[in-house]
Amino acid sequence: MDTLLSVENLTVKFRLRQGDLTAVDNVSFTLGRGERLGLVGESGAGKSVTGFSLINLISKPGFIDSGSIRFEDIEITRLSDTAMRKVRGEKISMIFQDPMMTLNPVLTIGTQMIETLRAHVGCSRRQAEAIALENIRKVHIPSPEKRLKQYPHEMSGGMRQRIVIAIALMASPGLIIADEPTTALDVTIQAEIMDLLLELCATEGVGLILITHDLAVVSQVTQRIAVMYAGRIVETGDTQQIVHRPKHPYTQGLLAALPQHSNRQNRLNQIPGVMPSLIKIPPGCSFHERCDLCQDLCREQIPQLNEKSSGAHVACHLAE
Amino acid sequence: MDTTHAHNAAASSATPLLETVNLVKHFDISGGLLDRIQWRGSNLEFARTVVRAVNNVSLSIAKGETLSVVGESGCGKSTLARTVLGLYPPQSGQVLYRGERIDNLSPQQMLPYRTKMQMVFQDPYASLNPRMKVREILEEPVRFHHKEKSRSEVKDRVAEVMKQVGVCPDWGERYPHEFSGGQRQRISIARALVVDTEFIVADEPISALDVSIQAQILNLLMDAQEQRSLTYLFISHDLSVVEHISTRVAVMYLGFLCELAPTEELFTNPRHPYTQALLSAIPQLGAPSQDHIRLSGDVPTPINLPPGCVFHGRCPHADKRCRREIPAFLASGDTTLVACHGVEEGRI
């Protein structure tokens, strides 16, 4: 598969009064053309910041400290603001959690779609309208002509998220970053939106980075997963393999903590404690304080993300 | 598992701890006089806009069981929970606690019940007073309900409960903002446990928390239930959590109950078409995205309820009768109650 995106040793920091906070620490991953990758983790793990940095949406006091992000043959970290605007929406689109916050409440859907398109592609109004209609049809919204004249508040949450997806697709980007796209929606709607994303990735050949805390969703939609913990990737590899045979103690704990059909009404496995605050990440492995297997080595040395016998990459001194 | 379910079902028909009978809660959102003026033809009319949040809900909760209410946002599950506790007065219908009617009591008469019935809220950031220390938050209900207790007794009681929920009693002098979300939810659970609690309404108690913390809080709730033989009314939209902890599950749609069944039965043999669609939409870990039942359309608003069965607009099995007549909540099998014409007629 030819590589669409490659991120190498990305470090994102936030400058605070107490010192620098490392939100993303030395993260590397690649994505093939048309591939679907899941970034999984709990709140504060750095998954959203990783997503934002791919289109350079890190604003002060945050900054990309080091590392490289290559999309096709563009080095994202070195782009000027104007060049970056061309990349956003045209080559990489982003879908956010809350569709009510992403859409402008005082503009009609039509205005917002046509504006986006004309800003990026520079076509006539009529052409833009035709493309907008075609994209609304692609996301399976009935009577698209009527929808163009409506305002966001006239639609339900699921419909709005479909519109956001339609807008994201308009300039035929190579990559869509979806940051918790269904967290604000109900399960039946979530299933529809995920189906839609899967279908569009297949028909349009778009790559997808799905950022979510929901392991079940990610296991159904993506081909590969990267599990993040306290700013670092702790395990990455084939989705089914990680879900069924996790190697890192954190991934194991996380999966065991999910209620499963088989252990109804029994106690759940719980990971003791909470994720460390990013301001004071412990030395060594950031998970060692919560890990049952912790040894002296874990307290001293940061484990590297190494390929294990199973083919997965795991950042743990003890996983084999 | 089957024997406990049978036992619970039997117990619930004997002496339910809590019971609601045809409970109805509507909210009038028509606003002021001017907002209500409407033209009909050439006549001026004063229209009322009513949100029908809870309609004719009858259920009973046996002592020691966990009854979960599931449904999508806006289906009235939180309103039901609050109406049960008397936080909202019902329009009509009754709420019975140990067979005694409590929905028409004065606040004074309600006091003895308040010590028995407590609530845990969704957002641990909003439900703890940021200006009070944790110790004050936890002492307040004990001092209010047990005026006879001495200062040291109150203190002992609070320390005991804090230990039980896994919050170090030495942290009592801290303020809520110094705690993480999971710790805060432990404190709200402690607050619900410090009085002589028998019955807890937990409204989405874990949906604001991370996965690894969710497991901690669920375990805490299950442990507390075992130690004190508590009864839970558990409100949630997360079906895998509900499957894990509940004895019985009630499914709500647009303010109506569609199905009520023992957990095992509901998850293996859902009868109502909405329950079937809801269950098939749950993402399964590691399983490929299966062919789930696709529902057409969106949930209608509870302001203009559709006539007949409220689900008919999205139901693949709807026929003429469903569009006209509201289905009754009838027994189907030994332990299940379903409100569906199709199930009643044997079509589904």
Q: What is the pLDDT of residue B288?
A: 65
Which residues from B are below 8 Å from A252, CB to CB? none
Put simply, the answer to whether A42 touches B210 (Cβ < 8 Å) is yes
Strand partners, B158: none
Q: Does A202 touch chain B (CB under 8 A)?
A: no
Shortest Cα distance, chain B CAs vs residue A188, angstroms: 5
Show the domain range for B7. Answer: 2-34+48-107+236-345
Is B135 domain-assigned?
Answer: no
Interfacial A residues in 259-288 facing B (CB < 8 Å): 259-261, 263-265, 267-271, 274-275
Is B132 domain-assigned?
Answer: no
Q: What is the pLDDT of residue A277?
A: 82
- CA–CA distance, B117 with A33 (Å, rounded to integer): 57
Domain count, chain B: 1
Q: Pairing mode, if any, of strands B256-262 and B92-97? A: unpaired
Shortest Cα distance, chain B CAs vs residue A35, angstroms: 16
Q: What are phi and psi of A212, to 5 degrees?
A: -160, 165
Is A246 domain-assigned?
Answer: no
Please tell me which of the candidates B211, B223, B285 has its beta carbon nearest to residue A213. B211
Residue A195 has pLDDT above 50, yes or no: yes
The CATH number of residue B309's host domain is 3.40.50.300
Which residues from A are below 8 Å from B214, CB to CB? 257
- Measured between CA atoms, the residue of chain B closest to residue A159 is B298
- CA–CA distance, A141 with B252 (Å, rounded to integer): 27
pLDDT digits (tens, 9 = 90+) for A21-67: 899 999 999 999 999 999 999 888 999 999 999 999 988 889 999 99
- CA–CA distance, B28 with B50 (Å, rounded to integer): 5
Which residues from B are below 8 Å from A268, CB to CB? 215, 218-219, 244
Q: Does A43 touch chain B (CB under 8 A)?
A: yes
Compute the CA torsion angle B187, B192, B196, B198 (nearest 10 deg).
Answer: -130
Residue A146 has pLDDT above 60, yes or no: yes
Is A171 domain-assigned?
Answer: yes
Please tell me which of the candidates A42, A219, A264 has its beta carbon nearest to residue B244. A264
Strand (E) positions, chain B?
16-28, 37-40, 43-46, 50-62, 66-70, 92-97, 100-101, 117-120, 199-203, 231-236, 248-253, 256-262, 330-332, 336-338
Is A165 domain-assigned?
Answer: yes
Is A151 domain-assigned?
Answer: yes
Q: What are phi and psi of A127, to 5 degrees?
A: -60, -45
Which residues from A are below 8 Å from B241, CB to CB? 259
Shortest Cα distance, chain A CAs vs residue B102, angstroms: 31
- CA–CA distance, B291 with B281 (Å, rounded to integer): 9
- CA–CA distance, A220 with A116 (Å, rounded to integer): 31
Domain count, chain A: 1
Is A18 domain-assigned?
Answer: no
- Kindly state the helix (H) or strand (E) to which residue A69 belongs, with its residue range: strand A62-71
- CA–CA distance, A246 with A234 (Å, rounded to integer): 11
Is A245 domain-assigned?
Answer: no
Which residues from A are below 8 Å from B216, CB to CB? 270-271
Residue whose C-alpha is closest to residue B267's, from A183, A192, A264, A244: A264
Question: Mean pLDDT, chain A, as a whole number?
Answer: 90
Least confident of A165-179, A273-287, B92-106: A273-287
- The count of C-alpha atoms lying within 13 angstroms of the C-alpha of A63, restricted to the half-sphere facing its C-beta, is 8
Q: What is the pLDDT of residue B328?
A: 93
**What is the 3-state secondary structure of B240-256?**
HHHHHHCCEEEEEECCE
The CATH number of residue A102's host domain is 3.40.50.300
Q: Give B169's DSSP letter.
A: G
Put simply, the answer to whether A186 touches B237 (Cβ < 8 Å) is yes
Which residues from B are below 8 Å from A195, CB to CB? 289
- Dihedral sign for Cα A48, A54, A57, A63, please: positive
- Measured between CA atoms, the residue of chain A closest to residue B73 is A186
Which residues from A are below 8 Å from B285, CB to CB? 215-216, 219, 243, 255, 258, 260
Which residues from A are below 8 Å from B280, CB to CB? 191
Is B192 domain-assigned?
Answer: no
Put simply, the answer to whether B267 touches A261 (Cβ < 8 Å) is yes
- CA–CA distance, A304 with B337 (Å, rounded to integer): 56
- Measured between CA atoms, the residue of chain B closest to residue A191 is B281
Is B6 domain-assigned?
Answer: yes
- CA–CA distance, A96 with A168 (Å, rounded to integer): 10
Cβ atoms within 10 A of the Cβ of B7, count? 14
Q: Which two tokens stand for residue A46?
A: 């750095």
Instruction: Kindly give, in sequence order, each residue whose CB lies less than 8 Å from that of residue B146, ignoring residues fewer than 6 positions away.
Output: B154, B195
Strand (E) positions, A124-246?
175-179, 207-212, 224-229, 232-238
Asked if residues A9 and A66 have their Cβ atoms less than 8 Å apart, the reply is: yes
Burial of B171 (0-12, 13-18, 19+ CB in 10 A): middle
Residue whose C-alpha is closest to residue B105's, from B95, B91, B115, B93: B95
Q: Is B270 helix (H, G, I), strand (E, B) or coil?
A: coil
Q: What is the pLDDT of residue A115?
A: 84
Optimal mutation site among B8, B211, B220, B294, interface A, most CBs of chain A within 10 A: B211
Specify whether the backbone of A180 is left (phi greater than 0), alpha (psi in -120 to 50) or beta.
left
- CA–CA distance, B18 with B100 (Å, rounded to integer): 9
Put simply, the answer to whether A220 touches B215 (Cβ < 8 Å) is no
Show the domain range for A156. Answer: 35-49+81-222
Q: Does A195 touch chain B (CB under 8 A)?
A: yes
At position B260, the amino acid (one-letter code) is L
pLDDT digits (tens, 9 = 90+) for A212-259: 999 989 999 999 999 999 999 999 999 999 999 999 999 999 998 888
Q: Give B28's DSSP letter.
A: E
- pLDDT per residue, tens digit, chain B (348 aa), is 444 444 444 444 567 999 999 999 999 888 788 878 877 778 888 888 889 999 999 999 999 999 999 998 889 999 999 999 999 999 999 999 999 999 999 999 999 999 999 999 988 888 999 999 999 999 999 999 999 999 999 999 999 999 999 898 888 999 999 888 889 999 999 999 999 999 999 999 998 888 888 999 999 999 999 999 999 999 998 888 999 999 999 999 999 999 999 999 999 999 999 999 999 888 888 776 666 777 777 778 888 888 999 999 889 999 999 999 999 999 988 899 999 999 999 888
Shortest Cα distance, chain B CAs vs residue A197, angstroms: 12
Put simply, the answer to whether A219 touches B287 (Cβ < 8 Å) is yes
Residue predicted with more confidence, A262 or B205? B205
Put simply, the answer to whether B212 touches A221 (Cβ < 8 Å) is no
Q: What is the pLDDT of residue A143?
A: 86
Is A149 domain-assigned?
Answer: yes
